[in-house]
Structure 1
Amino acid sequence: MRKRQFLKVLFALAGSGSAAACLAQGGERPVEWVHPYPVGGGSDAIARKLAESVGAQMGRGFFVSNKPGGATNIAAAYVANAKVQGAMVFTGDFATLAANPHLFANLPYDSAKDFAPAGLYARYPILLVVSSKVPANNLDEFLRWAEANPDSANFASSGVGSPQHLAAELFRERTGLKMTHVAYRGGAPAVTDLMAGAVSFALMDASTVVPQMKTGRLKVLGVASPERMKHFPDIPTLHEQGLTGFEAFAWQGMLVPAGTPRDVVDSLNRALGAALASKAVIDFFANIAVEPWFSSPDEMARFVAQENERWGKIIRDRGISLQ
């Protein structure tokens, strides 16, 4: 049902007004890029880089408006209630579109009706990392250690219901390990405690972990992707180490308010694709261990529906809730 509703909104855009008219709404009004996370983080830096590049592609001013809090719900509600078409885009991600509809009993927005996709733009690989105090250097050694030491097999995440938490729950399901979850308010404090040995391991996004890899205070055992990362080819996949088909990653894409004309969506998508293909953006992503990931609006709609179903099952099966 959720997938049909989402696609219905998407296809309805095709019959709307012209892109030129919509983009001219409010004269030379700049486009507000609403971002659900604080200023200064990695995803904020990406939004600002893309806003600059997409704006240059379209000959239109873009500015980033940070509205953090509420597990992205504050920003999502702001966009859902704004009723602005042609002068607003929104960072849509795993939380808003795949997890929150299952974590919260009551949301101030409907992820299937209030937004329309304009295209995916970022994939955040997730790594299995362990404290240097854990005597394991690969997946097999870690699994044997965790089975023998269940009281010590505690894992960190950046928060309940985060991609890192749910990736670890999937890992628990696939391996059968007895594990204790320790939730933090963000990835940085989680990694700090991991390096100190206060927690044993985590499935953490590469952009948070990579700056700490050279300290020697944590070990990267594998990446939860089908293929090795382009810029870190020495990190093996969990799949090739025996956890067949295991895949988990965080992601982000561009959304627009529902009702935005389809030709406007297509214009934004073309500009987004050109931005992601530019050397400046490719190099920027590589420096923070994030992978550019471009899709059409239709492809994003299908992907979001699949993610919603996949992670909704994990959330229900584990009884995870934020309300």
Structure 2
Amino acid sequence: MSRRRSRGMSACHTEAVQQRRNTMKWIASMALALCAGGAFAADYPTRPITLIVPYGPGGTNDILARAIANKISPTLGQTVVVNNRPGAGGNIGAQQVATAEPDGYTLLLASSGVFAVNKWLYRSLRYDPAQAFAPVILAGSVPNVLIVDTGVPAKTLPELVKYAKSAQPSLNYASMGTGTSGHLCAELFKAQAGIKAEHIAYPGSAAALTALLGHQVQLMCDNLPTALPQIKAGRARALAVSSAERAPLLPDTPTVAESGFPGFDATAWFGIAAPAGTPAPIVERLNKEINAALQAPDVARILGEQGVSFRPNTPAQFSQFISAESAKWRDVIERTGSRAD
């Protein structure tokens, strides 16, 4: 018995020693990796950086990307090149970043669709945004504005709700495409207001606005910068903005929340991310540089002209924001049964 006990204790001791050795090896390897990552980050960047915009040139995403790239290139000591890769609601460009080396040399600037919506809209999506990207920064947001055809008698949001509930046949609303911020904003409003309105998707904001101005549809939620010229010209009537606060470009127009729907917030937003696995020191460096760039007077002026608002934030805060937005829009998409493929 004594000999057996001795053998058992010896085996336990050997196993414990081996576990300690394995643990020490793991700690040593992690320390080495962290040191290597820190050294790599200290030298970063040593070559040009590509900032992929998964949409065509000329839009708010593109304007924002180029303003940031021009501002951070001198401070990083390397050129940041903007590369437009449009297609499939942003999925083509996003997929390229998702599969890129996690070394900080391929970045993504995309809208809420890529980060929080497309996962629920596309059955064929080949990546999970929550797993594929390392969030860097929430680069800004733009409110949508709920506008109506001037033939609609409503002058306020409560009046529109009353009118919509009695309209026969039910109203039609336009969007710039299924799953866009304007489409989801309208669906969220419909659900909270308890009204019916038929969705008609158009290939872009210009076509949707043309339908509204041509009296083919009665209302739509559109990005404020796009709709503003028509509002100022009196060809469309703004009833409310979708952001939590009033928009500086339209200060006399109330928010949806102020108009009787507390907590309503449905903005179009833009964020920058790196491939998952990018060393934390690189992500932090990029966050620091972009935060500074977005607060520079010349960049702030460009953003203001586009109706973009920005508040400094961290990678962790952006990650939490993405999670909350993804959950919100998942519920809307599941309720409406919307699909893009």
Same fold by TM (over 0.5)?
A: yes
Preserved contact between residue 23 and residue 87 of structure 1 (Cα < 8 Å):
no
| Count of aligned pairs | 309
More RCO (CA 8 Å, sep 6+): 1
Report how far residue 15 of structure 1 moved.
8.7
Counterpart among 226, 232, 238 of residue 250 in structure 2: 232
**Corresponding position of 1:105:** 123
Report how far residue 305 of structure 1 moved.
0.7
Alignment deviations for residues 155-211 of structure 1 (CA, whole Å, 9 cap, x no partner): 111111111111111111111111100101111211122122221101111121112
| Letter of the structure 2 residue corresponding to residue 178 of structure 1 | K
* Gapped regions of structure 1 (runs ≥ 5): 1-11
| Letter of the structure 2 residue corresponding to residue 172 of structure 1 | K
Report how far residue 18 of structure 1 moved.
3.5
Equivalent positions of 1:59-70 (< 5 A) are 59-70=77-88
Report how far residue 223 of structure 1 moved.
1.0
Preserved contact between residue 13 and residue 262 of structure 1 (Cα < 8 Å):
no
Report how far residue 260 of structure 1 moved.
1.2
Counterpart among 104, 129, 154 of residue 147 in structure 2: 129
Report how far residue 152 of structure 1 moved.
4.9
**Corresponding position of 1:280:** 298
State how far apart, in whole Å, the 2-side matches of 1:276 and 1:36 are.
20
**Corresponding position of 1:187:** 205
**Corresponding position of 2:193:** 175
State how far apart, in whole Å, the 2-side matches of 1:24 and 1:147 are.
58
Counterpart among 236, 239, 261 of residue 243 in structure 1: 261
Preserved contact between residue 51 and residue 108 of structure 2 (Cα < 8 Å):
yes
Structure 1 counterpart SS, 2:285:
helix
Structure 2 counterpart SS, 1:113:
helix
In the alignment, is residue 75 of structure 1 matched against residue 93 of structure 2? yes
Does the C-alpha gap of structure 1 residues 261 and 252 become closer, same or farther in structure 2, counting only changes over 3 Å?
A: same
Counterpart among 310, 320, 323 of residue 338 in structure 2: 320
Report how far residue 57 of structure 1 moved.
2.8
**Corresponding position of 1:6:** none
Report how far residue 147 of structure 1 moved.
1.6
- Tell me the TM-score normalized by structure 1: 0.90
Alignment deviations for residues 270-303 of structure 1 (CA, whole Å, 9 cap, x no partner): 1111111111111111112121243210000001
Preserved contact between residue 134 and residue 274 of structure 2 (Cα < 8 Å):
yes
Preserved contact between residue 126 and residue 205 of structure 1 (Cα < 8 Å):
yes
Preserved contact between residue 122 and residue 294 of structure 1 (Cα < 8 Å):
no
State how far apart, in whole Å, the 1-side matches of 2:296 and 2:168 are.
47
Alignment deviations for residues 74-102 of structure 1 (CA, whole Å, 9 cap, x no partner): 00111122225121110132111111111
Counterpart among 219, 235, 247 of residue 201 in structure 1: 219
Preserved contact between residue 102 and residue 276 of structure 2 (Cα < 8 Å):
no
Q: CA RMSD in A?
A: 1.9
**Corresponding position of 2:70:** 52
State how far apart, in whole Å, the 2-side matches of 1:199 and 1:81 are.
41
Structure 2 counterpart SS, 1:301:
helix
**Corresponding position of 2:133:** 115
Alignment deviations for residues 97-131 of structure 1 (CA, whole Å, 9 cap, x no partner): 11111111231222122210111011011111111
Judge which range, 240-249 or 266-275, deviates more.
240-249
State how far apart, in whole Å, the 2-side matches of 1:162 and 1:294 are.
25
State how far apart, in whole Å, the 2-side matches of 1:97 and 1:175 are.
27
Structure 1 counterpart SS, 2:174:
strand
Counterpart among 37, 41, 59 of residue 41 in structure 1: 59
> Max radius of gyration: which structure?
2
State how far apart, in whole Å, the 2-side matches of 1:140 and 1:46 are.
35
Preserved contact between residue 294 and residue 300 of structure 2 (Cα < 8 Å):
yes
Preserved contact between residue 61 and residue 110 of structure 2 (Cα < 8 Å):
no
State how far apart, in whole Å, the 2-side matches of 1:16 and 1:89 are.
18
Between the aligned residues of both structures, percent identity stands at 36
Alignment deviations for residues 216-244 of structure 1 (CA, whole Å, 9 cap, x no partner): 11000111222212342211112222122
**Corresponding position of 2:310:** 292
Does the C-alpha gap of structure 1 residues 77 and 14 become closer, same or farther in structure 2, counting only changes over 3 Å?
A: farther
State how far apart, in whole Å, the 2-side matches of 1:199 and 1:46 are.
31
